[in-house]
Amino acid sequence: MLKDNHIAAAGGIKKAVSLVRENAPFVHKIEVEVENLEMLREALEAKVEIIMLDNMSFEEMTEAVKIVSHRALIEC
C-alpha cells in the first residue's frame, strides 16, 4: 500500500507506482491511498488495482465511485 508519505517522498502517485513496479515486480496488486478526487484520477492513470478513499465525505466517495467505474477495487 502506498500511503501519503510514500507518495510525497516519490514526488507523486505516478512516480511512486512506477518505482514499486520497477523495484518489486513480484507485487501483483498495488493499493494507493487517496484523499481527494485529483489524487484518485492520478491513481487511475497509473493503473493501480486498489484505491483506498481516505478521509472523504460521503458525497466525495459517491463521486469517486462514479469516476472509478469498475477500473479498480475501492476501499472506503
| pLDDT, tens digit, 9 for 90 and up, residues 47-71 | 999 999 999 999 999 999 999 999 9
Q: Which amino acid is at 10?
A: A
In this prediction the pTM is 0.90
